[in-house]
Structures are given as C-alpha cells and as structure tokens.
Amino acid sequence: MFEEIKNSVQKVLSERAVSPLAGTFIISWCLWNWEIFILFFFSSDDISVLDKIFYIKYFGSNACNVFVKPIISTIAILLLYPLFSNSTYWLWLRYDVWKKKIKDEIEGSELLTLKESAEIKYEVEQQFRKAADILNDKDTEIKSLNEEIAHLRTFIVREPIEKTLLEEIKRKEDVYMRLKEVFDSYSLGTPIDISKIPSTIKNYFINENIIYRPAGDLSKFELGSMGLNMYKLYIKEAIEEK
C-alpha cells in the first residue's frame, strides 16, 4: 500500500513539475518539510504508516512549514530567479562584447595603415602592367615567328615544285633553250622577246606562270612568280657548276 502511495505521489510530482509554479512549490515544500519527505519516502518499511502519521502530526507538522514558508519561497524564487538569470545573461553578453572588442583592438593594431595599403596596391598594379606588357611582347614575338615559319614553309614547299619543273624543262632541249633565252633577257634587263618562241612553248610558259603579260601592256612580258623562283634556282646551279 505504501509503495502505491509513493508511486502515485511520484507520478503527480512528475506531471506537476512541468508547470514552473507547481514544480517550484513542490521543491520548496520538500525543502521546508524535509523530515516529512524523508520519513515517508526513505524510512524503513518496518515503521508502520500510522506511526509515521503520528510522528508527523505531533512533531514535524506546523502550518508555517506546510503552507506559509513554501508559498513565500515559491513567490520569491519565481520573482527573483528571472532577475538573477537575466543579470547573469547580461553580464555574460557584456563579457562577450568586451572580449570581442579586445580582440578587434589587437587585430586592428596589426592591420596595415592606409598609406601602406595604397603602396602595396600600387606595386601590385605595376606588377600586373609589367606582366601584361611582357605578355603583349611575347604575343607579338610569337606572331612574328609564326609568320616567318609560314613564309619558310611556303618556300620549302615551293622549291621542290620549281626544281621539279626546271628539271622537267631541262629534259626538253628546245623548251629549255627558250627558257634560257627568257632568263638571259631578264638578267640583262632587256624586254623579254617572245616573238621567236613557238606558240606552244609560249602558252606553256604562261600557263605555268613562268611569264605573264602585265595589264595595260599587251606587247610586254615579264617573269611570273614561278619564273622568278626558277630563275633563282637557275643562277644557283650555274654558280655551283663553276
């Protein structure tokens, strides 16, 4: 029976503890009436319930401890606890602000001055400009080298064609003889005379761009791009033979 009462009281205390008022009053009551609390819940089971009630009635029970003091304690705790709690929280926030202020002051003393920042910014900008100028120079140099490589590749590609064509003409004695006449006139600076060149050979020279007729002068012929390159090879071979 005593165990059932004990469990009921514990259940009620557990449910009432959710309310701040009920929980505070129960705690206050237990503190002011600790003898009753201990006698009921922690005394030996050999003591009968009637003996416990008798002891409480004549020795441990009075209106002041049972009602007045727990009520006053409850009111005091409910009113004063928020003040103490908020004061503690306020002090903690003040301390946190103070700590951050000290940290900012220490870090601020290590920051760069406005003049130092401007100087560093200027140096960085100068380095960027210098790097940009170097990149532009390199791009120009690369472009120039690419153009030179393209020119050399064109010459390398053209030379075998011109050399092959010259060798082919050499195997045709009459054509080679007419080509030499054209080269001789060019080397002497005299107009190229094609009046004695057969029309088939003349057309062959024109088709291969060995000679061409300038616009506006139908009576004059000059060396074409293929003819100029072949002339260079012709002179080179003539020098090597000597």
Report the CATH number that the domain containing residue 236 is assigned in CATH. 1.10.10
Same domain for 182 and 88: no
Higher-scoring residue by pLDDT: 132, 5: 132
Give residue 14's pLDDT band: very low, low, confident or very high (50, 70, 90): low
Residue 230: name the closest of 177, 149, 167, 175 by CA. Answer: 167
Residues 60 and 7: their CA atoms lie apart, in Å, by: 23
Query: Mean pLDDT throughout 192-219?
Result: 82
Residue with tokens 């009920």: 22
What pLDDT, on the 0 to 100 scale, is given for residue 189? Answer: 83
Token pair belonging to 183: 């080269």
Query: Mean pLDDT throughout 202-209?
Result: 88
Give residue 8's pLDDT band: very low, low, confident or very high (50, 70, 90): low
pLDDT in tens, 146-203: 888 877 666 554 557 878 888 888 888 888 898 888 888 888 888 887 778 888 988 8
pLDDT in tens, 96-126: 888 888 877 776 655 556 677 778 888 888 8
Q: Is residue 47 part of a domain?
A: yes
**Model pTM score:** 0.34
Q: Is residue 166 part of a domain?
A: yes
Residue 56: name the closest of 72, 70, 37, 73 by CA. Answer: 37
Same domain for 98 and 168: no
Q: Is residue 189 part of a domain?
A: yes
134 CB contacts (<8 Å, ≥6 apart)? none
Q: Is residue 153 part of a domain?
A: no
Same domain for 9 and 101: yes
Lowest mean pLDDT of 26-40, 72-86, 87-101, 202-216, name the range. Answer: 26-40
Query: Mean pLDDT throughout 199-218?
Result: 83
Q: Is residue 73 part of a domain?
A: yes
- Identify which of 42-51, 71-80, 101-110 has the greatest average pLDDT: 71-80
Same domain for 19 and 91: yes
Q: Is residue 134 part of a domain?
A: no
Lowest mean pLDDT of 45-59, 73-87, 197-211, name the range. Answer: 45-59
Same domain for 90 and 23: yes
Q: Is residue 137 part of a domain?
A: no
Same domain for 100 and 165: no
69 CB contacts (<8 Å, ≥6 apart)? 28, 32
Higher-scoring residue by pLDDT: 241, 139: 139
Query: Mean pLDDT throughout 79-87?
Result: 79
Same domain for 193 and 100: no
Instruction: Give the residue numbers spanning the domain of 99.
Output: 2-106
Same domain for 164 and 89: no
Q: Is residue 22 part of a domain?
A: yes
Higher-scoring residue by pLDDT: 151, 138: 138
Q: At residue 215, does pLDDT exceed 80?
A: no
Same domain for 191 and 99: no
How many structural domains are present in the chain?
Answer: 2
Within 10 angstroms of residue 125's Cβ, the number of other Cβ atoms is 10
Same domain for 92 and 185: no
Same domain for 98 and 13: yes
Residue 143: name the closest of 131, 133, 135 by CA. Answer: 135
Q: At residue 132, does pLDDT exceed 60?
A: yes
What pLDDT, on the 0 to 100 scale, is given for residue 49? Answer: 60
Q: Which of 88, 106, 124 is the last residue of a domain?
A: 106
Same domain for 73 and 6: yes
**What does R_g of the chain's alpha carbons equal in angstroms?**
59
